[in-house]
Amino acid sequence: MSLPRDTRTEIIGKGINDKMNHAYAYGGIAMSINTVESYLDIPIDYYVKMNMEGFQDIVNAVGGVTVDNDMDLAYKGFTFNKGTIDLNGKEALIYSRIRKEDPRGDYGRQMRQRQVIQAVMKKGASLSTLTNYDDIFEALGKNVETNLSFNEMLSIQNNYKSSLKNIEQYTLEGDNQRVDGVWYNIVPEGTKLEAQNRVKTHLGL
């Protein structure tokens, strides 16, 4: 589930209402986790912080990715035709950053980011077919930070491969509204409650 970066919420630990992504600017990973925990009313035990600039290294390390593009798009000299397309690292980064050229705006960008990440996971789940382990681990080491242990990552890779065939994608949608001169994504309480219940059901809470 994607949470739009401009979603107006309480920043836990700062004591103000602001855009959700500002939690990271104010207090890093800890404040981001606390804010999302409060917003969705769920516990968050693990996190993965990804450097999107370096994400292209990860895509290249797994030999590129394949995604299903649902519309013709062009951005920064790159053209992405509707249909199944193969992307190298640079192309994947550009593809996942398109926003204004998509009539869905940030929601479309979130979808493409999920597509690319899911495609990388799919490639990573078949590590036995890859030969460039060193490149993959180097790219991950430079661009990914997590509190998952290596053994926990291996456990996920070994035991949850099949889940990649059964992924549901969901975007928390709201309305763009101006509050005190600043544009926010305002999520109706009913929509927020539905999102909370959806995640709680998946977590068995």
CATH of the domain at 126: 3.40.630.190
- Is 193 among the domain residues? no
Mean local confidence (pLDDT), 13-38: 96
Instruction: Say what the pLDDT of residue 204 is.
Output: 93
Mean local confidence (pLDDT), 165-173: 82
DSSP symbols for 156-199: HHHH-GGGGGS----B---EEEEETTEEEEE--HHHHHHHHHHH
Report d(CA 106, CA 142) in Å as an integer: 27
- Is 20 among the domain residues? no
- Is 67 among the domain residues? yes
> pLDDT grade, residue 188 (50/70/90)?
very high
- Is 120 among the domain residues? yes
- Is 113 among the domain residues? yes
Residue 25 sits at the vertex; the CA angle it makes with 20 and 29, to the nearest 5 degrees, is: 80
Q: Can you give the residue range of the structural domain that contains 110?
A: 50-146
Mean local confidence (pLDDT), 104-119: 87
Could you tell me the pTM of the whole model?
Answer: 0.77
- Is 9 among the domain residues? no
Count of the separate structural domains present in the chain: 1
> pLDDT grade, residue 137 (50/70/90)?
confident
Mean local confidence (pLDDT), 24-52: 95
- % pLDDT > 90, the chain: 52
- Is 112 among the domain residues? yes
- Is 69 among the domain residues? yes
Mean pLDDT of the chain: 88
Is the pLDDT reported for residue 192 higher than 90?
A: yes
Is the pLDDT reported for residue 187 higher than 90?
A: yes
Report d(CA 131, CA 135) in Å as an integer: 9
Mean local confidence (pLDDT), 66-73: 93
> pLDDT grade, residue 47 (50/70/90)?
very high
